[in-house]
Structure 1
Amino acid sequence: MAEIDLITQYNKKSPVSEAYRAIRTNLQFAGAGKPLKLISFTSATPYEGKSTTVSNLAIVMAQNEKNVLLIDCDMRKPVQHKKFGLPNRGLSNYIATGAALEKVIQKNVLPHLDILPSGPVPPNPSELLSSTKMEEVLQAVRDMYDYVLLDMPPVLPVTDAAVMSSKVDGVVLVLSSGDISPDEANRTKAQLEQGGAKILGVILNKVPTQRSYGYSQYYYYYYYDEDHVKHKGHRHHSKEENSGQ
């Protein structure tokens, strides 16, 4: 297997990894007594860091000895197979061709972490995600794992994330500070809610602070429970969040 170049795997004691663990803790409490098993992650537009965010969160959840499945539902620009050095055989193979689900889930990528890549890019991603076969996938994996994290496409360019929002237990929105306007953020939230989403919170990514030692620093913020808003902030610099996805 190729080396996994994700900070929660190669530098578990870094401030960035600690920030992801703080988000993990917030997610565990976000259900307010109701278990959250299926959680989707999306953004307003491309290149806000949502794929890197969800892959690192999958790793820290697995490090907490929870059985985790990461599903790449971004069938237009899939990246999770690249991040974990896997062949891109997965979700679209199962939905479109009837391949056995257990054959396309890639097991034990890391301890307690399985991954279902997107599979080859299909001509009709929205139709596949809204299909009965996709519902069968979600029902099957709900019973198999402690957490199922879905990497969804961004909301504003395509309808996929909104289509899927009512099929999961909650949605986390990753927004890139300085790249997204308040209007875009509000339109994203409105589209998700129109699709029936329960928005668990927002991760505000790439928040610039003072420059020091030649590095541009950032904060992660995770907000949850709109009636009792809380946040965690961690200063760090990371090449991952400049990678786009």
Structure 2
Amino acid sequence: MFIVETKPKSIAAESYRTLRTNLQYSSFDKEYKVIVVTSSEPGEGKSTTAGNLAMSLAQGEKKVILIDCDLRKPSLHKRFKISNIMGLSDVLIGREVIENAATRYKKNITVLTSGKIPPNPSEMLGSKAMTALLNELQGIFDYIILDTPPIQAVTDSQILGAKADGVILVVKAEKTKKESVQNSINLLKKVNAHIIGTVLNGVDNKRNKYYYYYGEKK
């Protein structure tokens, strides 16, 4: 479950609202509609961050679609407890339309699961069909949040980062090494992805664990 939904008055939920506000203010000169959420390595909390950010934006009366773009190890269908019989991969190959594949989870938030795991995830995410889908969705939703694989594991996040308006990099406190973060930033810069900022995940503030947005990366 997601902390923004289960414990809306917690420090963690408030931190996601701060992230939402910072994101909206960061859009002053350039509108960020398509946002990639990634991490350097597995287990740093990118899917949790993507889900909570999407919910927080939806609670702020924005229409949001959250897409599981991890076509290798998808997890959003488990977190939201919804079906993954069809999803993104089925839409991209033309087997399903977005209206049938996506699930309206709650008011203002729609979830598109990964669908069937394809043999060629990178090619699928880099396809013209993916670009066309993102363009279509921008006419329907205020925000499109893409939960993507760890950037140092595969090229998928770089591919989507190049298509997106901005990237949020999730860093796990006391786990992610500085060199790993810098390498991830360099990989994103190689494709001219715009790094909006970084989320520090799992900071232990006495007895409360929370997520904290700490600024824009130039």
Shorter-chain TM range is: over 0.9
Matching residue of 1:220: 211
What is the alpha-carbon distance in structure 2 between the residues aligned to residue 218 and residue 103 of structure 1? 37
Contact 2:32-2:166 within 8 A present in 1 as well:
yes
In the TM superposition, what is the alpha-carbon distance from 1:97 to its structure 2 partner? 4.2
Alignment of 1:100 onto 2:97:
yes
Alignment of 1:179 onto 2:170:
no
Q: After TM superposition, list the pairs within 5 Å mapping 1:86-235 onto structure 2.
A: 86-88=82-84, 89-107=86-104, 109-210=105-206, 215=207, 217-226=208-217
What is the alpha-carbon distance in structure 2 between the residues aligned to residue 172 and residue 197 of structure 1? 10
Give the TM-score of the pair, scaled to structure 1.
0.84
Contact 1:69-1:114 within 8 A present in 2 as well:
yes
What is the alpha-carbon distance in structure 1 between the residues aligned to residue 205 and residue 20 of structure 2? 24
The percentage of counterpart residues that share the same residue type is 40
Contact 1:37-1:142 within 8 A present in 2 as well:
yes
Unaligned 5+ residue runs, structure 2?
A: none
What is the alpha-carbon distance in structure 1 between the residues aligned to residue 108 and residue 185 of structure 2? 32
The one-letter code sitting in structure 2 at the alignment partner of 1:222 is Y
What is the alpha-carbon distance in structure 1 between the residues aligned to residue 211 and residue 98 of structure 2? 35
Contact 2:170-2:199 within 8 A present in 1 as well:
yes
Q: Give the secondary structure class of the aligned counterpart of 2:203.
A: coil
Matching residue of 1:14: 10
Contact 1:62-1:111 within 8 A present in 2 as well:
yes
Unaligned 5+ residue runs, structure 1?
A: 228-245
Give the TM-score of the pair, scaled to structure 2.
0.95
Kindly tell me the number of residue pairs found equivalent between the two proteins.
217
What is the alpha-carbon distance in structure 2 between the residues aligned to residue 19 and residue 208 of structure 1? 13
CA RMSD of aligned residues (A): 1.4
